[in-house]
């Protein structure tokens, strides 16, 4: 009933608004009448209202659609930003992993180079089980937090463990070399100091970045290998080979009665008696610094071995080397004779340290253990590194 009354009321208002209307127009003295009926007015009104309603609906739909699209774009942009941020973090993480991998590779190059240079061959690496047990707490945390980096963390731990094992091996060999030098009656500290004082050459940094430093474990390894190298080279330079195959000693080192004057005199070497032309051999490798006549010694050869050590071979009948020539231990230098101040065919053999004559007997009576240590050191010194064998890196 209420709806019916409302509808009748609305119809009555529209009927009141749209009544028949007459318009008159005057033109050239004539009056014309134009009638617009209420029905036509209502049709026009309804048409305009419908068109306006349609326009409003379309506009509203477009606005809603635009708002929806904008919302979707904003959500997509936010999601894209989040993805980009994630990708950025992943890229940054991967970059850090790449940096670690590059650092470990470079560290391995250092290990390889030091091993080849000082040891000759790489000792067996620790097995995986032993390596895992010795992983540091920090390495374990890294492996747990970043599974992708676990293999790098283990590789780093293996390298550090390897460096420590190699350091211990180098220190053991250093002590062996030092003990062998002491058995020759020499001071290893003084001899190795003479060796390290004579160093030089152009600076060729290992790292391109001047601020990059070795890991402390590698620093300790490098120091241990340098000490081992200095002492083993010192040991190699010590004359221990016999200068002649004859074992007959006619005069020892020390004070004796001079064969010409009969008075007391200092004999600065050992005399080996033998036949004329007996081969004379180098007691150690080195460089010939004198090959010719020397007052009192006759035809003589002097070899400098480094670290202040020098050997002299005198009264030769023939000299087979020249000054400046490099000599290996056991190489023939000449032949036994009786030139110079000599009473018969023999070899006068001297060992001098920084110009002072010392007793050659400890050098000639070295035990088997000492000679074995020296042989190992000599073999290492002769082993070519990759850089020398034509397969160098870079």
Q: Is the pLDDT of residue 300 over 70?
A: yes
Q: In terms of C-beta distances under 8 Å and separation of at least 24 residues, what long-range contacts does 108-113 make, across chains too?
A: 108/159, 109/393, 110/206, 110/214, 110/218, 111/159, 111/162, 111/163, 111/166, 111/218, 111/221, 113/206, 113/385
Mention every residue, 6+ apart, whose C-beta is less than 8 A from residue 154: 131, 132, 135, 139, 143
Angle between helices 216-237 and 38-118 (to 10 degrees): 20
Q: What is the mean pLDDT of residues 50-60?
A: 83
For the chain, list the domains and their CATH numbers.
117-197+213-239 (no CATH), 249-365 (2.70.70.10)
Q: What is the mean pLDDT of residues 44-55?
A: 80
pLDDT in tens, 221-238: 888 888 888 888 888 888
Q: Is the pLDDT of residue 382 over 70?
A: no
Q: What is the pLDDT of residue 227?
A: 86
Beta-bridge mates of residue 316: 299, 336
Q: Average pLDDT over the chain, rounded to whole?
A: 75
Put simply, whether the predicted model's pTM sits higher than 0.85 gets the answer: no
The secondary structure of residue 255, as a DSSP letter, is E
CA 349, CA 182: separation in Å to the nearest integer? 21
C-alpha separations of 285 from 117, 142, 181, 189, 379 in Å: 20, 52, 16, 21, 13
Beta-bridge mates of residue 359: none
Q: What is the pLDDT of residue 207?
A: 47
């Amino acid at each position: 009933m209420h709806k019916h009354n409302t509808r009748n009321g609305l119809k009555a208002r529209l009927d009141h608004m749209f009544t028949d209307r007459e318009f008159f127009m005057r033109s050239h003295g004539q009056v014309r009448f134009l009638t617009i009926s209420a029905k036509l007015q209502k049709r026009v009104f309804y048409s305009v209202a419908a068109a306006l309603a349609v326009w409003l609906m379309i506009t509203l739909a477009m606005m809603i659609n635009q708002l929806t699209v904008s919302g979707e774009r904003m959500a997509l942009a936010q999601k894209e930003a989040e993805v980009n941020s994630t990708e950025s973090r992943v890229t940054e993480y991967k970059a850090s992993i790449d940096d670690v991998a590059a650092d470990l590779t470079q560290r391995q190059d250092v290990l390889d180079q030091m091993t080849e240079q000082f040891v000759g061959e790489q000792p067996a690496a620790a097995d995986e089980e032993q390596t895992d047990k010795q992983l540091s707490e920090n390495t374990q945390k890294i492996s747990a937090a970043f599974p992708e980096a676990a293999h790098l963390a283990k590789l780093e731990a293996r390298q550090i463990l390897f460096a420590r094992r190699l350091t211990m091996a180098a220190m053991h060999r250093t002590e062996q070399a030092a003990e062998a030098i002491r058995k020759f009656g020499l001071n290893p500290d003084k001899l190795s100091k003479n060796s390290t004082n004579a160093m030089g050459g152009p600076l060729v940094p290992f790292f391109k970045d001047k601020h990059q430093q070795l890991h402390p474990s590698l620093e300790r390894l490098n120091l241990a290998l340098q000490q081992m190298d200095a002492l083993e080279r010192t040991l190699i330079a010590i004359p221990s080979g016999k200068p002649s195959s004859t074992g007959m000693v006619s005069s020892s080192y020390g004070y004796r009665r001079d064969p010409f004057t009969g008075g007391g005199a200092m004999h600065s070497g050992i005399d080996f008696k033998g036949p004329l032309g007996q081969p004379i051999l180098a007691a150690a490798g080195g460089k010939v610094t004198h090959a010719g006549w020397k007052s009192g010694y006759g035809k003589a050869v002097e070899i400098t071995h480094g670290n202040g050590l020098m050997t002299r071979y005198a009264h030769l009948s023939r000299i087979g080397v020249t000054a400046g020539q490099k000599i290996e231990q056991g190489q023939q230098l000449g032949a036994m004779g009786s030139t110079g101040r000599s009473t018969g065919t023999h070899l006068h053999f001297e060992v001098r340290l920084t110009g002072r004559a010392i007793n050659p007997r400890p050098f000639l009576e070295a035990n088997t253990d000492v000679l074995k240590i020296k042989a190992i050191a000599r073999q290492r010194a002769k082993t070519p590194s990759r850089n020398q064998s034509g397969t160098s890196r870079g």
